[in-house]
Amino acid sequence: DITVRGKTIKNGLQLWHVDTDYFKSWVHGRLNWDTTQPGAWHLPEDATDDYCRQLVNESVIISPNGKRTWKEHGANHYLDCEMLNAGAAYMLQVHRLRPKGTPEQTISGRRVISKGVEI
């Protein structure tokens, strides 16, 4: 990895590809969840109308051949921001974090379904 001045970047760069269709759908899906459900989308009390509008200013259009495209209906910068935040959180495996005090699940070896046939 090289800088614009031609020098090598120490330790290089890491490039992440984000599936924007998946994470926009993920954000839109969470908006419809019941607020008591774990993983639901919660808005701060001071969320503006502009913020809320931009989260839903894009919709999925499915063509007759099944191709999905996102159609903008105005500014959608906050949706893009939340989608990239969700993608970054996934890359950092935030979804695997447990609340403090929750015991870690351990896998205790292989499960024996049958001991076989003795002759």
Q: State yes or no: pLDDT of 47 exceeds 90.
A: yes
Global model pTM greater than 0.85: no
User: How is the chain split into domains, by residue range?
Assistant: 20-96
Residue, of 1 and 47, whose pLDDT is higher: 47
**Which residues, 6+ apart, have CB-to-CB distance to 47 below 8 Å?**
none
pLDDT score of 116: 67
